[in-house]
Amino acid sequence: MSQEPSNQTLYDELTAYLDGELDAEAVRRVEERLARDADYRQELHKLERAWDLLDGLPRATVDDEFTKSTLEMVALSASQEAEAVAQELPRRRRRQRIVGIVSMVAALLVGFVVGTQIWPDPNRDMLMDLPVLEDLDLFYQADNIEFLRLLEEEDLFPAEGPDES
C-alpha cells in the first residue's frame, strides 16, 4: 500500500520536469503519469502558465551604482571582520600561552607527586638505620651477634635513637 506523494513532492517533481533536471527513468515515470492522471496534467499546466506569466514581467535592471554600493558594503564588512580577527589574535595567543604554561606546571607537579610515591627514597632506609650506623664501630668490636643480643636484653641500647639535644 503506497502513499500518495505530498503536494510539495508533486510540485518539485513537475518543476524538475519542466527544467529538464530529471533523468530518463524519472522523465518516463512523469510522462506516464501525465498520460493517465488528469489532476497531474492540470498541475503541470498551472505551473506552465505561472512560468509564462513570470516571463512576461519586465526584468529589473541594476545600474553600476547599485553594484558599486554592494561591493563597498561587502568590502567594508570584510574589513571589519578582518580587523576584529586581528584584534582578537593577541588575546587568543596570550590565552594559549597561559594555558600551555599552566598545563606544563600541572604536568610537572603530577609527575613529581607520582614519582615520589612510586620510587622509594633510598635516604629513608639510611635514616631508619642511623642509630646502627652511629654505633657501627662498636658493633665491629663484638665477636658475634649473640653477644649483641645479650647487651640488648640488658637495656644497654637507647630505644629512641640518638640524643636529640
Listed residue (53, 4, 55, 56) closest to 13, CA to CA: 4
From residue 152, give the alpha-carbon distance in Å to each of 34, 83, 125, 147, 158.
Answer: 116, 85, 22, 9, 9
| Mean predicted confidence (pLDDT) in 154-162 | 63
Beta strands per DSSP E along 36-146: none
Query: Which of residues 139 and 4 earns the better pLDDT score?
Result: 139
Residues 48-70: pLDDT tens digits? 888 888 778 887 777 888 888 88
Residue 1 pLDDT exceeds 50: no
Cell of 93: 595567543
Residue 98 to residues 57, 94, 111: CA-CA distances in angstroms? 63, 6, 20
Give the pLDDT confidence of 66-109 residue by residue, as tens digits: 888 888 999 999 999 999 988 999 999 999 999 999 999 999 99
Give yes or no for a contact between 27 and 14, defined as CB atoms under 8 angstroms apart. no
Instruction: Give the tens place of pLDDT for each residue, 110-149.
Output: 999 888 888 877 788 778 888 877 877 777 777 777 877 7
Domain locations in the chain?
A: 7-56, 61-119, 122-153
pLDDT at 120: 78
